[in-house]
Amino acid sequence: MSEGTSSRGIVVGTDGSASAMTAVRWAAGEAKMRNIPLTILHVVEETRWPAQGGQIPDEVLSIAENQESAVIAEAVAAARGDSTDGELELETSCPPGQAVGVLIDSSRQSEMIAVGSRGLTGRHRRSIGSIAVGLLHHAHCPVAVVHDEAAAGANSHNKPVLVGIDGSRASLVAAATAMEEASRRGVGLLALHVCKDDAESASISGSRRAALESEAEALLRDSLAELRQRYPEVAVHLLVRFAAPARQILNQAERAQLVVVGSHGRGALTGALLGSVSTTVAKGAHIPVLVTRQS
């Protein structure tokens, strides 16, 4: 089942839950902003339907098809919103299989894949949270985990984009994505570097702490130098903190409309563990979290 182009563009997964509808609306806005197609994907997990002799009875198939059609229709309505048909190029798909595997395969031809932070509960439904975790580890494109709309606040569109930078290649990819997102939205950029964890920072002297802050600011400036020339319209604010990386990113996320992190980063002795914290941030933030991928 499809509308419009076969190009994937942004793919958003839905299971019919309220969280998934939030992700659909967010992904539709992103597709419009980028002028690229949106694919709404609802995976039909046939194992949840009762079978007799290895086959699903026709009456059960009819019920299943009606339910899947209703899920897609609701998602299309959410994506369209008040838009006219010409404003959003939309495709829908209901492939059979396991949700994580199908979404990972779809990510090969996608610019971004988006999912809600949680899904329907119950014996026959997998948590979309577990699907998001699978995508964070195995997707082939950036993954957006979208949280409740209300948590972002009424004026979230004016808030900056937040990015965690530790100097690793993964974080530099995240920085480039974050700067592009800030420019696209017409907002500023918060660039965060976390020097040490809490246990290490407790014993740091004042002079050593000042030196580490200076080194961190230099790392941030170097990491962003070329990007600031490319996007001179984006106001950049440098942040240096001494704390557990995930907690600091989550703390600063209260000031932002979007968090961007890399899929992995440097080791514990050299900077923030972006790889180990990306899942924590994606689960714990109250705003959309975009986890980038190295090409």
Query: Under 8 Å CB-to-CB from 272, ≥6 apart: which residues?
Result: 164, 166, 171, 193, 194, 245, 265, 266
* CA nearest neighbour of 2 among 30, 40, 44, 36: 40
Measured from the Cβ of residue 160, the count of other Cβ atoms closer than 10 Å reads 23
pLDDT band at 269 (very low <50, low <70, confident <90, very high): very low
Give pLDDT tens digits for 49-72: 555 555 555 555 555 566 778 889
Residue predicted with more confidence, 38 or 4: 38
pLDDT for 77: 93
Give pLDDT tens digits for 18-41: 989 999 999 999 999 999 999 999
Q: How far apart are CA 131 and CA 45, in angstroms?
A: 13
Q: Which residues pair with 172 in a beta bridge?
A: none
pLDDT band at 275 (very low <50, low <70, confident <90, very high): low
pLDDT for 114: 96
pLDDT for 2: 42
pLDDT for 203: 65
pLDDT for 162: 99
- Residue 250 predicted with pLDDT over 50: yes
Q: Which residues pair with 267 in a beta bridge?
A: none
pLDDT mean across residues, the chain: 82
Q: How far apart are CA 147 and CA 29, in angstroms?
A: 15
- Residue 92 predicted with pLDDT over 60: yes
pLDDT for 276: 73
Same fold, 10-146 and 161-292: yes
Fold classification of 10-146 is Rossmann fold (3.40.50)
What's the token pair of residue 198? 């809490």
The domains of the chain are located at: 10-146, 161-292
Fold classification of 161-292 is Rossmann fold (3.40.50)
Give pLDDT tens digits for 215-245: 999 999 999 999 999 999 999 999 999 878 8
Work out the burial of residue 21: count CB atoms within 10 Å of its CB; fewer than 13 is exposed, 13-18 middle, 19 or more buried. buried
Query: Under 8 Å CB-to-CB from 84, ≥6 apart: which residues?
Result: none
Give pLDDT tens digits for 126-182: 444 778 888 988 899 999 999 876 454 556 889 999 999 999 899 999 999 999 999
- Residue 295 predicted with pLDDT over 80: no
Measured from the Cβ of residue 205, the count of other Cβ atoms closer than 10 Å reads 8
